[in-house]
Structure 1
Amino acid sequence: MTAAGLAAGYAADLVLGDPARWHPVAGFGSAAAALERRVWADSKAVGTAYATVCTGAATAFGFLAQAATRERPAARFALTAAATWAVLGGRGLAAEGTAMAALLDRGDVPSARRRLAHLCGRDATNLGSDELARAATESIAENTSDAVVAPLLWGAVAGIPGLLGYRALNTLDAMVGHTSPRHRRFGWASARADDLANLIPARAAAVLTAVCAGSHARDALRVWRRDGRRHPSPNAGQVEAAFAGALGVRLGGVNTYRGEPEDRGTLGDGRPPVTADLRRAVRLSTMVGMAAAAVAVAVAS
């Protein structure tokens, strides 16, 4: 039932995308933000307790749901499918990439700058169309791992608790896991735990990218093995490098986050990506998601 539920949930995300209202992940984020406002302190210890409570609550709910359906296979299937649909973001990711490409094709750079906030947190104020295409392509690659491959694999090995616990942790990382003055210490545990949770999924995503790269499979593997470590993140660079090789483009460089420049390394050998490459990245992301779903179903069977 876990395997069937994962397959059904993935299909639901592929067809339906995210719910327009009452999204469970958004609800979790609102609750976590409210708790942060009450307990925040410039302390790693407090931040660790906060991450433990938030992630633990989501995981515990998953354990309760799994225990309650141990002898009820139809209910286990339904809850696994619903949880999988709730935590995946493949269709939404593809929609954002396609929308960004459409804006860039029209030359609407101001709207594309605003739209980039749907994909990543970098400062887009001074970015031109080429830099916006690069930013979106990198975000498509990274989020293919974070929002599709990782939750599917965690669901395959840990069922409903794995799905909910992983998504809770990844959401916390997006909320507090960056290096702003407010969150440098408070968000340390969320960021480090998310890094650990994604160590294997990110590398699996890179391998699946090569599998889906067709005639560019060797380039994807070569660039991944050579450049994956150049990125300051232990995981984001893995799949971004594989995408760079698969697409034949050069990703990485200096980005600005909250007014602070960061050198993300150079990934790949080709030219900088353009809008057409962003569209190719969206298609590749969808293919990687399908491959990840197949692997997850096989593991859970």
Structure 2
Amino acid sequence: MIAGAFDIGGTSIKYGVLNEQGDILFKSKTPTKAKEGGKAVVGQVIELTKSLQKDYQLDGIAISTAGQINSQEGTVIFATDSLPGYTGLNIKKEVEKVFDLPVVVDNDVNCAAIGEYWLGAAQGVDQFLCMTLGTGIGGAIVINGQVYNGEAYSAGEFGHMTLYPGGYPCLCGDEGCYEQYASSKALEQRAQHALEQSITLPELFDKARAGDKLSESIIEQWIDDVALGIKSLVHIFNPPLIVIGGGVSEQGDYLLDKLQRRVEARIMSSFQKPLTIKFAKNGNDANLQGAVRCLSLPEFCREDG
């Protein structure tokens, strides 16, 4: 099987061609036409697929995307304003109108979890949580080797746990949500406010490693909030493993060691021994790989198979 795979985000569409073993034969990315609306974004996927077909005989199309996704129907249940006109769109049907090929569509973090379970940091672990720290915070729950979708295909919205009641307003309409304090975007905003300058996260971590106390303090405060949310997840799910993705995962052991210690300090001792925290191994490639896995073996991605 050769599949065209797509990972749709508010900023860019990563795409490629993968085989049934998850090997990436080709990959690229292009800016998402988000401001033009959901149908324009799906139109991009269609045009990119036509382009891929010039060089590859595709057997299917696998789509990982931001938003809450009904993976049975391929419909966007809900998406924020970062992808206007996306809510309610049936991506699967729109793509199948053009191509006589099987199409699967699932949430991006669900795909990342399956990709990491198949070929990454969660290999051999049948129960784990996956979370991504980016513009927001996404989550996925894997039980007995399958993604748990919830009654409305919306399980795993870790970013909307309430961390601080009455806190910062969130796009979901509530206040004090986890992602307003513990996402990569939240860390960047903290840094820019405290340092009174524009700074990227790699620059912030470089300054902290070089001994800048203020930069280190900003990161430490942010880690406290990340750990506070993980504490709740650990006490609810008692997972043996949490896989964390997103740009901050590139900081490696410097960040991971701090986070592991902070989480252990917050959780009950009976939860500590089985718990391991790992950074995602395959980055954005895991989203493409997970989507292709859902195409070839849908039982991994839906409880009902």
Q: Compare the two structures and name the one with the higher helix fraction.
A: 1
Normalising TM by the smaller chain, what interval? under 0.3
Q: Compare the two structures and name the one with the higher strand fraction.
A: 2
TM-score, normalised to structure 1's length?
Answer: 0.27
